[in-house]
Amino acid sequence: MGAVVKPLTREHRSWRTKVFVATWLSYVGFYFCRKPFSAAKAAIQDETGWDATTLANIYAAYLVAYAIGQFIASDMGTRLGPRRNVLLGMALSIGCTLAMGLTLDPWLWAGLIGVNGLAQATGWSGNVGTMAGWFHKHERGRVMGLWSTNFTVGALTSAWVLGWVLSLREFDEPSPWRWCFFAGAMVLAAVWIQYYFFQRNLPEDVGLPAIDDPVTEVDESRVAEPRQVGYMGLSRTSWINLFLVAGFYFFAKFVRYAVWSWATYFLVKNYALSNAEANVYATAFELGGLPGVFITGWLSDRYFKSKRAGVALIMMIGMTAATAALVMFGTSGVW
C-alpha cells in the first residue's frame, strides 16, 4: 500500500521557494569569501615574493580549520539552530576576508584564513539541515541535485568576478589583488541580508504545519526490526557506512582542492596567462561538475530508488579515471 502525501498549501510552496533560494545563494556567497586567496595567489606571490610553500602553508591553515569546523558547526547547529549558525558563519567570513585585504603578514593571514575556515564550515551543514525540514524525503534526490549546483555556481561566478577584478587597472593603490578580498566580502554581505529575511529553519517557525514524511510499509518493517545500539547510539552497520563515506570524501577532497586551489596559479606560472585569463580557464573544473549534480540526483531517484551510494561509486570511478588522464596528458598544453 502506497503512502499518501498531504498536499502542500500555497504558503508552504511560497516559503519553500524562499528558503530554497536563500540557502542556495548563501552557499554561493560563501565561495566569494573562500575563493579570493586561490584566485589571487600568483598576484600575491608577485608582490610579496613568498614562495609556493609559504602560500601552501597559509592555505593549509584554512583546510585544517575547515575540517575541524565541521565538528564545531554540527554542535553549534544543534545549540543555535541552522539560521543563527549560518548567519554567524557568514558574518565571521566577511570580517576575515576584509581583514585579509588589509594586511601582508603571513602569520596573520594564516590566523585569519583559519578563522575563515571555521566560519565557512557552517555553510553546508546549516543549509542542508534547513532544506531537510522543508522537503519530503522522496523529493530530496531531485531537489538536492538542483540545490547542490550552488557549490559549482559559487566556484564559477566567484572565479569569473574575482578574475575580472584582477584585470582592472583602476586600482593602483591598494593593489588589484586586495580588491578580490574586498569584492568577495561585499558579495557575501549582500547575501547575508537576503538570508536574514528569507530563511527559516522549519515551517513551524512561520506558523505552518511540519512537512512530515508518510510512513510506508517498508518503513514500518524497518521500524519493527530490532536495532543494536552501539557507541554514540550508532549501530555497527552505521559506523561502517560512516567510515566508508568519510574515507571516500577524504580522498575526493585531495583531488578537488588540488585542482581548485592551484589551477589558477599553475596556469599563470606555466603558461604565461594573466590572472584574469587563468581564473576563467580554471573554471573548466566547475563547468564539468555542473551537469554532474543534476545527473546524480536524477539517477539516484530514477534508477537507484533514492539509494545514493551506488551513484557515488560510479562518480568516484569516473573521477579516478579523469584524474589519471589529467596526470598523464594535462601538462601538454592549456587545452
- CA 327 – CA 15 distance, rounded (Å): 46
pLDDT given at position 121: 95
- Quick one: pLDDT at residue 5? 61
* Angle subtended by helix axes 82-100 and 176-198, to nearest 10: 160
Assess contact for 39 and 159: CB atoms under 8 A.
yes
pLDDT of residue 333: 66
Q: What is the pLDDT of residue 230?
A: 60
Query: pTM value?
Result: 0.82
Per residue, the 3-state secondary structure of the chain, as one string, reads CCCCCCCCCHHHHHHHHHHHHHHHHHHHHHHHHHCHHHHCHHHHHHHHCCCHHHHHHHHHHHHHHHHHHHHHHHHHHHHHCHHHHHHHHHHHHHHHHHHHCCCCCHHHHHHHHHHHHHHHCHHHHHHHHHHHCCCCHHHHHHHHHHHCHHHHHHHHHHHHHHHHHHHCCCCCCCCHHHHHHHHHHHHHHHHHHHHHHHCCCCHHHHCCCCCCCCCCHHHHHHHHCCCCCCHHHCCHHHHHHHHHHHHHHHHHHHHHHHHHHHHHHHHHHHHCCCHHHHHHHHCHHHHHHHHHHHHHHHHHHHCCCCCHHHHHHHHHHHHHHHHHHHHHHCCCCCC
Q: Which residues of the chain have pLDDT under 50?
A: 1, 217-218, 224
What pLDDT shows up at residue 24?
A: 98
What does the pLDDT read at residue 334?
Answer: 66
pLDDT of 218? 47
- The full set of domains in the chain, from first to last, is 10-203+230-329 (1.20.1250.20)
